[in-house]
Amino acid sequence: MIKRIACLFFLIALSCKSNLYGSKSGSSAKSYKVNQESVAKTLEFLASDELQGRKAGSAGIEKAAQYLETIFSQNHIKPYFRTYKDTLSNYPEPAYNIVGYLEGTDPKLKNEFVVVGAHYDHIGLAKEAINGDSINNGANDNASGTTAVTEIARYFGKFKSNKRSLLFVFFSAEEAGLLGSEHLAKKLKAQDFNIYTMLNFEMIGVPMKRDFTAYITGYAKSNMAAKFNEYAGKSVVGFIQQELTYRLFMASDNYPFYKEFKVPAQTVCTFDFENFNYYHQVQDEFKLMDTAHMTSFIQDMLPVIEKMANSPTKEIALKK
The verdict on residue 12 lying in a domain is no
Give how many domains the chain has, as a whole number: 1
Which helix H or strand E contains 156, and what residues bound it?
helix 145-159
The verdict on residue 92 lying in a domain is yes
Task: Tell me if 217 sits within 8 A of 248, measured CB to CB.
Answer: yes
Q: How far apart are CA 13 and CA 230, in angstroms?
A: 21
User: At 54, which CATH number?
Assistant: 3.40.630.10
The verdict on residue 4 lying in a domain is no
The verdict on residue 184 lying in a domain is yes
Q: What pLDDT, in 10s, does the model give residues 101-137? A: 999 999 999 999 999 999 999 999 999 999 999 999 9
The verdict on residue 201 lying in a domain is yes
The verdict on residue 191 lying in a domain is yes
Q: What pLDDT, in 10s, does the model give residues 268-280? A: 999 999 999 999 9
**Residue 7, pLDDT score:** 42
List average pLDDT for each run of 10 residues in the chain, which is 320 residues long: 40 40 52 96 98 98 98 98 98 98 98 98 96 97 99 98 98 98 98 98 98 98 98 97 97 98 98 97 98 98 98 97
The verdict on residue 318 lying in a domain is no
b/e burial code for range 272-305 (CB count within 10 A of at least 16 → b): beebbebeebbbbbbebbbbebbbebbbbbbbbb
Mutual angle of helices 2-18 and 23-31, in 10-degree steps: 70
**Residue 320, pLDDT score:** 86
The verdict on residue 153 lying in a domain is yes
Neighbours of 177 (CB within 10 A): 11
Q: How far apart are CA 200 and CA 69, in angstroms?
A: 19
Partner residues linked to 200 by β-bridges: 117, 267
Domain of residue 247, residue span: 20-310
Which helix H or strand E contains 291, and what residues bound it?
helix 291-310
- Per-residue DSSP letter, 142: I
pTM, two decimal places: 0.92
Task: Tell me if 300 sits within 8 A of 232, measured CB to CB.
Answer: yes
**Residue 31, pLDDT score:** 86
